[in-house]
Structure 1
Amino acid sequence: MLDFYGEEGRKTATLRVIEYERQLDIDARMRARYRVARGRVTRFIVQLEVLVESKWRPVVRYDTSHRFAHRDLYRKHGRPVKSDLKMSFEEALTYALDDLRENWEIHKSEFLGE
């Protein structure tokens, strides 16, 4: 946990960064990183990746990089399609983690065109 203090050593905010990688299969993994400040999610990225020709490629990414919660859906050839989740960061993070835990095989198959 990272703590930030004011001028006189008073605690002004607490920031936690949680980061992990979960191997789902020999050629599939989920990576997550999120920041929580004062009990609120302030940023996150949750990404499903598959190994294609010895390179990890993004399949689905949920993040807050444009200051709103959204999903980028990748295809093997072509540009990603962005969808606004229209949820709070907390709701979107939970949704993203649940989706990739439960549906990673479907996302992988669609990405690979199987």
Structure 2
Amino acid sequence: MAISITPAAAERVKSFLVSRGKGLGLRLGLRTSGCSGMAYVLEFVDDLNDDDELYDVDGVKIIIDAKSLVYLQGIELDFVKEGLNEGFQFNNPNAKGECGCGESFTV
């Protein structure tokens, strides 16, 4: 499973976990949403579910559920600052298209 995380994203996740004071890692998943069909989900994880896969990527524990795993193979998680805006960016080689607002994608 090739999941990568940039140094900027790794540092941001680590700082969030330290600020939060607890947490096993970061869940990267999908939900049905938007005009293109799927949207990314990021959330902190305190306990694993039965169908979770755990990956240690550059010192960050990434948790992905089995249902999302097939759509996230090869993904790169980045953290980008552009002017006053900042946030996580998903570079997913499986995405075939995105909606105009960038909130959802299709495979």
TM-score (norm. length: structure 1)? 0.27
More strand by share: 1
The TM-score with structure 2 as length reference comes to 0.29
